[in-house]
Structure 1
């Protein structure tokens, strides 16, 4: 099991991906052919069965995309995402060091965690791989991303990222702005931006890669310039914006409302 995104981050490179919350293997293929580094399959807000999740991951593999699954709140979701073959998990609402420790415990095999072992699953090539070498390779290559998206998580940032096994801290700017009380202004509110900028600085000081979300190419560039190493475009936003643009351009006297 190789993990191209984790390898690139270790080399200090920037990586670009896309959130995808709808079941569509063709869209995964398009992302790969377009040159994205990874697809982030959103099982927190999206709707996927286990078999659909595996099909999306299999498709990502076929076009050279790393696969990250943002897991749900079901305790088994980490196990299921990794057993389907995901290269990484992204875990929402990690607010304390104890939360981070629990995430690592669920994602890593013994002696680093207590993830259940099966050799008959897809990542183990349905039994062709097994034993210590397989377990060690999984522990080494699987990437663990935690969401920083509440004031509590911000206050505990240093403790959270100090947990061995946490590879990247992802700033969930929408949830952060809402939890800070800026539902109307959103992530652009100066106080939210101040917190986000402080997290970038802390990440740099602690040598912890920072990830974040972006609505389009322009905001992705801004995030990279601020110091993000991993940026994730919201694909639904891109598609909706493109569709609205087509309708507006095609109906100049009937602007889209």
Structure 2
């Protein structure tokens, strides 16, 4: 069971839900800015949510995030009007199901390498008849501000499915990945992409192979009517990203804390 071209998607949905800040900004072309959160704390989720960001990627891949922290963070983020996204640790059906049952407004799946993997993700992310997702939790509807029946009717066409393109194989197959119905956004992971293509990270940004890969990913997204985003390190890079991307996720909580202290300690000790 998979989606077809005729099924409504986040790009084509007519559902109006003011709680879905990320989706609404993407549809309006307003260039949402997100960040990553790796520290498992409701208070961290609340503090970051109050900064004016449009979404927070709760990082269950590389962050110190387990199931409890994932649920608690999504609840805290959504309650403050920000869109929670879960970066899962892999594409397995049970992992995606657990992430979606938090009430996440979107999922981000790392290291997608081919169209078969993309189809597997989509099948796990969608309720029947478009997919294989099971229903049994009262929690996901809460973060959407809906009843469970309302959530069941709208989830397939409002939850954003983001696939990370960050390997050589992913770049080689990106056109086929982007063509899969139900894939909504291609997200560039620049560090892993550089490591895969160049053998080191971070990329300088001017390496021909790296530049060509980024261009190819963006072109595939545009060709198939999908959104495209990437991770950025700071506000300047995020502002520059407006020229090419539909959204960015700007650094993360751990780096933000470290960078502030490093900079201020340098001043204090000067």
Deviations 1:225-245 (A, max 9, x none): 2x1111001222222111101
Matched position secondary structure for 2:30? coil
The answer on whether the counterparts of 2:186 and 2:217 sit within 8 Å (CA) in structure 1 is no
- Mapped to 2, the partners of 1:66 and 1:250 lie a distance apart of 37
1:107-148 per-position Cα deviation (integer Å, ceiling 9, x unaligned): 101001001111x421245xx9445x5322111211100001
Q: Within the alignment, does 1:99 sit opposite 2:99 as a pair?
A: no
> Which moved further from structure 2: 207-216 or 103-112?
207-216
Match of 2:59 among 13, 17, 42: 42
For the 8 Å contact 1:108–1:139, the answer to whether it is kept is yes
TM-score, normalized by length of structure 2? Answer: 0.85
Moved more, 5-14 or 201-210: 201-210
Describe the superposition over 1:69-114 as per-residue Cα deviations: whole angstroms up to 9, x where unpaired. 0001272211011111111100011111100100011110100100
- Give structure 1 stretches of 5+ with no counterpart: 253-257
| Partner of residue 13, structure 1 | 30
Partner of 1:255 in structure 2? none
Return structure 1 stretches of 4+ with deviation > 3 angstroms.
Answer: 128-131
Structure 2 residue matching 1:160: 3-state secondary structure: helix
Report what 1:108 is aligned to: 126
Q: What secondary structure does 1:27 align onto?
A: helix
Q: Structure 2: how far apart are the matches of 1:205 and 1:74?
A: 25
Structure 1 partner of 2:79:
62
Structure-1 separation of matches of 2:154 and 2:202: 45
Say if 2:91 and 2:120, in contact at 8 Å, map to a contact too.
Answer: no
| Maintained 8 Å contact 1:82/1:89 | yes
RMSD in angstroms over aligned alpha carbons?
2.0
Q: Unaligned 5+ residue runs, structure 2? A: 1-16
- One of 233, 239, 250 as aligned partner of 2:257: 239
Confirm or deny: 8 A CA contact 2:165 2:217 kept in the other structure. Answer: no
Partner residue in 2 for 1:221: 239
Contact 1:20 1:234 in 2 (8 A): no
1:121 to 1:173, Cα distance in 2 relative to 1, 3 A: same
TM-score (norm 1): 0.89
The question of whether the paired residues in 1 share the 8 Å contact of 2:37 and 2:58 is answered with: yes
For 2:104, the equivalent position in structure 1 comes to 86
Residue 49 of structure 2 is matched in structure 1 by: 32
Number of residue-to-residue matches in the alignment: 248
